Structures are given as structure tokens and as C-alpha cells.
Structure 1
């Protein structure tokens, strides 16, 4: 474990010196449904305690906050996130499937030092933490009924399925690799949705999100970002 810690620290130092270039990033083709189903079936059982130790020794908290709850909008919170989704994202960083810009450098580099079991352990640890409730957004705002309808019912005229059908009625995430959206910072939400819409992010299986985001307006994306940021996790009053 000390070796892993040393390698990660070394990798971060290299990155801070801007010596890792996009040409050095590993490359993998987008997931096929068959490939992802096989990978998901082979996902190791995660160990929460080992995952906590890995997160501590890997300095995850320095970017993602204590317990994976980041109080800023700079990087995503991992607390309460679907374990399968987190595991998939870590695999995507390691393989280069998720490399959208220079901000991906750190995670792509760091994940080269982890194996699948360690990724599953960290995913299990963060999944066991409570979902965040963002403190940097205005609460109890009036939400556009059209956005509530889009979340709950979708828009058949544009072939957009309800957000809640995959991400849960409270944004808590669905089954399998569907992520939780509750408490996600508006800046992070908008950035990732725009990457899907512009065709710069393509690690979604069957290109589902890429298809839906192309039909959304920029105003709708912003409104959805605000909606999920202020949405209370299930059980929070």
C-alpha cells in the first residue's frame, strides 16, 4: 500500500508539472452493450473498510472532500454514488474512455495504479456514505413545472425518456450504472451534459445520454442542473 501511495504522489507531481500530455492517454473504444454487461457481471465484491483506507491513502479527499462529500463546485462529490457507476467511471478513466479535456489528466494517470478489486472497494466505500445535500445553492426555489414534467414524464415528441426513470424519483440513482444526481453541483452537471451534447463525452453505454442531451436546450440543461442541485435526498427534510 505504501508503494501505491508513493506511485500516486509521484503521478500527481508529474501532472502538476504538466508533463503528461493527451498523446500519452490510453485509448479504448466506446463500450458495447455486450462488453459492459460482461464487465459488470465480473465486477468484484467491494470491501467498504478497504475502500476507505484506499481513499485515504490515495488522497481522494483532497479533491472530492471528506467522505467523498465535496462542498465546492470544482469536482464531483462521490458520497452516496451508485457503486457500479463509480466502478465504471474508474475503469473508464483507466482505459481512456473518459477523457474529455485536460482536467481528466489527474484521474487518468492515478487510476493506472489501481486494479479492479481496489476500484470496487473504493466504489463500495463511497456508495456507503450519505448522499450530499449541496449547501452552495439556493433552497426552496420555484422550479419550472416544465422541468418537473421533463424529469417525471420526459418528452415523447423529442424521444426523451423521463430522467427519473433511470436516475430515480429523488435523483438517488437507479439500478446498475445509473448515477445519482442529487446534490451534484450545477457547474459540474452543465459541463458534463454539454460534453455529451457536443459529442465530446462518449463513455455512456449505447450512447443514451448523448442522444437525449442533443434534444435539450441550453436553458433546459441549466434548469435541470439547478433542480438536481437543490433536490433533497430521500429521507432528508
Structure 2
């Protein structure tokens, strides 16, 4: 099984190079509130069992964990994410709207193999799993989470992502239990303009004025008492 998984991932790596070349000439269309609302209306009804089968046959577990619960800092946790969030991200990968780094290139290749029904099924499977940190976030919330920073026009994280990082409505990400390094990398991508698939440009505007220290502080807060970081460090030390 490990040999099959490695071969599959290596083939994705090779294919991602072709995707990267194609990306330069690809006509990317940004979402508008209207087009995203239409996409949500047209989203197929997801089947949890079919999504679980796809999670296995497409080797999603190789990066995202047995049920979508990431066990390393390299990949995001998918458990407990809303179906609309996961569905949108897969659409964005398929259209090249998300293609911000080498890891995203791999997902672009994977998404091109999926139909909209497949995407909806995977989204339903992940949404059916419990969020990480079942007892919630125990650390005191930084002021950026609870009140933001009015002087810099920064909206509090909790306003969109929930008071306990559980996510908001529709495609708003659940942040609770997100691996620390992945969180930092994502915020830096938004801040530097390398990732720009946020429909209302909310994350791009929020991340732009943040310092490295502030991003690291938020990452520590949402990472379930640093358990993700510890697991990653232990794995890399072996």
C-alpha cells in the first residue's frame, strides 16, 4: 500500500509541473458574490459514503489523515469544515484560482480528476466528521480574535470564523485545530498576494497589515494547544 501511495504521489508531482506550465496561459476567472451564490445553488447533494470511498481511492488520507484530520503541519485539517467551504476550494483548484505554491499544484492535479458530484461527496464526508479539539480552544483568545484592531481596520477573527474557531456560514473556514505551519503559510500567502481566492477579499485585507509575530500568535491560538506542532516536530526528529 505504501508503494502504491508513493507512486501515486510521485505521479502527481510530475503532473503538477505540467499544470504549472499550463497555469501561465490559463484564463482565471475570479468569483463574484453573484457567481458564487449561483455555484452554491447548483452544488450537487453530497453523499457521505461516496465521499469516504473517494477519500480512500484518491489517496486523500496520504496527506490529510484517515478521516481528514491532518497529523502534520504540512496539510490542512478537513474534518468539520463546512461542505460549502471544501466544495469551493476544490472548484478553485480545478479552475487554477488556487495554485499558489507547490502543494497547491498537487491539489490542482487532483481536482481535475473530480466531477462536481465527486467534490460534493468529498465535502459531505469531511463535513460529517467532528472538528479537531473537541473540547474547544482552551487558550485565552488574543485581542485580534475578539476585537480585532480598529486602528488598522482589522475585523476580529471571531466575527467570521466563530467565537471558538468553529467556522462561520457557507464557505467560511473553520480554524480550530488547523496545523500551525499550514496556518502561517496560508496567512503569509494572503498577505503577500500569492493566494487570492477569497470571494470578498476579506482575508487578503485582513492579513495584509499583520506582522509575522501576530500571525504566529494566531497560529498558536488555533492549533489546539500546540499538539499539531508537537506531533510534527516529533515526526521530523525520527
TM-based fold match above 0.5: yes
1:9: Cα distance to partner?
9.5
1:105-124: CA deviation from partner (whole Å, max 9, x where unpaired): 21101111111111011001
1:105-159: CA deviation from partner (whole Å, max 9, x where unpaired): 211011111111110110010111111239xxxx966x5xxx6222112222111
Q: Mean alpha-carbon deviation: is it higher for 205-214 or for 223-232? A: 223-232
Match of 1:50 in 2: 50
Q: Mean alpha-carbon deviation: is it higher for 107-116 or for 16-25? A: 16-25
Match of 2:147 in 1: 153
1:15: Cα distance to partner?
3.1
Match of 2:230 in 1: none
Residue pair 2:12, 2:110 contacting (<8 A) in 1 also = no
1:102: Cα distance to partner?
1.9
Tell me which of 182, 194, 197 is aligned to 1:200: 194
Q: What is the alpha-carbon distance in structure 2 between the residues aligned to residue 70 and residue 22 of structure 1? A: 25
Given the superposition, is the C-alpha separation of residues 119 and 30 from structure 1 closer, same or farther in structure 2, using an over 3 Å criterion?
same
- Give me the CA root mean square deviation: 2.5
Match of 2:126 in 1: 126
Q: What is the alpha-carbon distance in structure 1 between the residues aligned to residue 187 and residue 225 of structure 2? A: 18
Alignment of 1:1-237 (within 5 A): 12-17=9-14, 19-25=17-23, 26-133=26-133, 143=140, 148-230=142-224
The TM-score, its normalising length taken from structure 1, stands at 0.84
1:17: Cα distance to partner?
3.8
Q: Gaps (5+ residues) in structure 2?
A: 227-238
Residue pair 1:154, 1:163 contacting (<8 A) in 2 also = yes
Residue pair 1:29, 1:97 contacting (<8 A) in 2 also = yes
1:41-80: CA deviation from partner (whole Å, max 9, x where unpaired): 2111111111111111111101100000121111111111
1:187-219: CA deviation from partner (whole Å, max 9, x where unpaired): 000100000000110000121110111121211
The TM-score, its normalising length taken from structure 2, stands at 0.84
Given the superposition, is the C-alpha separation of residues 175 and 21 from structure 1 closer, same or farther in structure 2, using an over 3 Å criterion?
closer
Q: What is the alpha-carbon distance in structure 1 between the residues aligned to residue 220 and residue 41 of structure 2? A: 35
Given the superposition, is the C-alpha separation of residues 128 and 218 from structure 1 closer, same or farther in structure 2, using an over 3 Å criterion?
same
Given the superposition, is the C-alpha separation of residues 121 and 9 from structure 1 closer, same or farther in structure 2, using an over 3 Å criterion?
farther
Q: What is the alpha-carbon distance in structure 2 between the residues aligned to residue 54 and residue 161 of structure 1? A: 37
Q: Gaps (5+ residues) in structure 1?
A: 1-5, 233-237
Aligned length: 218
1:22: Cα distance to partner?
1.2
Q: What is the alpha-carbon distance in structure 2 between the residues aligned to residue 127 and residue 231 of structure 1? A: 23
Residue pair 1:44, 1:120 contacting (<8 A) in 2 also = yes
